[in-house]
Amino acid sequence: MPELPEVEVTCQALKAVLEGFSITEIQLNRPDLRYPLPPNLENEICLYSIQSVQRRAKYLLIDFEHGKTLIWHLGMSGRVIVETPEIPFLKASPHDHVIFRTSNNHKITYRDPRRFGFIQLTPTSQLASVNPFNTLGPEPLNNPELNVLIFHNRMKKHTKPIKNALLDQKIIAGIGNIYASEALWQARISPLRAANSLTQPESALLLKELQDVLKRAIAAGGSTLRDYVRPNGEVGYFQYIFKVYDRENKLCEHCEVTNLSKIIQCGRATYYCKICQK
Ligand SMILES: [Zn+2]
């Protein structure tokens, strides 16, 4: 499932090919993804200049000059493929649902086998008031409005386990299952403790490790970004070496004596070290 780093790398790749340009043609190969695709999408956005491409939590936001924003979520299995005139176009897949052609001769394909992704259109001025943007917590990265005290106070309001609190997009936005486990392991904090049991120094450490793991994962995608025109054209997917995620019964690299455990919290797998994480 694309998490924040994958969406950020996709965002940066789309920024490079869309900002200052426009979409000239849209091919919709089906009427819906998770939700129906916006009616008259071609008339609504084609030929209007794109002012910015941004990420908020795990959403891509494409702002057009005429005050419309395209909201794009990659769901469980969505991938963006950017093709340029210099490389041969890919063999089409039955999962290529939306294809954009741009004024700078790029072809951007949205491929999503499970179709949990979606594309919606909203007036830019109303974005902050529509679901989920009206309830999203603060961005974890590059956000001057998020400091340790704010993060600590948000966590202190909840009795649920810390891991579940990190996944609650209303408390902090964009943290997914993989990076929640990774950050808690890095901070040596148990995913089972109540969120309101964090001391302020622990909150400071957890926020630092969350930001660290997200930044390192984004950096791992940097090579993909430089290469977004690589032969398969896919962006946003890259090899990041997880320390705990999907490593049940593998040796913990902190203590080097304990094997990592897997538990289920709120229906999601959590990986952690019973010894190191207090
Ligand atoms: Zn350990």
Number of domains in the chain: 2
Structural domain that includes position 226: 148-233+240-272
65 a catalytic residue: no
Note whether 123 and 160 are same-domain residues: no
Is 136 inside any structural domain? Answer: no
- Taking only the tens place, the pLDDT of each residue in 144-179 is 999 999 999 999 999 999 999 999 999 999 999 999
Note whether 125 and 156 are same-domain residues: no
Residue with tokens 């910015």: 52
pLDDT of residue 118: 97
**Cβ burial 208-241 (10 Å sphere, 16+ → b, else e):** ebbbebbeebbeebeebbeebbeeebbbbebebe
Note whether 54 and 123 are same-domain residues: yes
Is 154 inside any structural domain? Answer: yes
CATH number where 19 lies: 3.20.190.10
Note whether 196 and 163 are same-domain residues: yes
What is the pLDDT averaged over residues 37-47? 97
pLDDT of residue 231: 41
Is 74 inside any structural domain? Answer: yes
- Give the pLDDT band (50/70/90) at residue 2: confident
163 Cα–ligand 1 center, Å: 17
Residue 10 has pLDDT above 70, yes or no: yes
Cα angle 1, 42, 6 (rounded to 5 degrees) comes to: 20
Note whether 158 and 111 are same-domain residues: no
Note whether 68 and 182 are same-domain residues: no
Note whether 93 and 193 are same-domain residues: no
CA distance 16 to 27: 21
What is the pLDDT averaged over residues 66-73? 98
242 Cα–ligand 1 center, Å: 14
CATH number where 257 lies: 1.10.8.50
Mean predicted lDDT score pLDDT of the chain: 92
62 Cα–ligand 1 center, Å: 42
Note whether 155 and 96 are same-domain residues: no
Note whether 125 and 179 are same-domain residues: no
Is 81 inside any structural domain? Answer: yes
pLDDT of residue 89: 62
How many other C-beta atoms lie within 10 A of the C-beta of residue 17? Answer: 22
**Secondary structure class of 196 (helix, strand, coil):** helix
Domain end call among 70, 99, 129:
129
Is 203 inside any structural domain? Answer: yes
Beta bridge partners of 22: 49
Say if pTM beats, i.e. exceeds, 0.75: yes
Note whether 169 and 56 are same-domain residues: no
187 Cα–ligand 1 center, Å: 11
- Give the pLDDT band (50/70/90) at residue 218: confident
268 a catalytic residue: yes
101 a catalytic residue: no
Q: Which of 58, 68, 79, 154 is catalytic?
A: 58
pLDDT of residue 265: 97
- Give the pLDDT band (50/70/90) at residue 239: low
Note whether 152 and 253 are same-domain residues: yes
CA distance 166 to 182: 12
At 87, which amino acid appears?
A: I
- Taking only the tens place, the pLDDT of each residue in 73-131 is 999 888 888 888 776 666 788 999 999 999 999 999 999 999 999 999 999 999 999 99
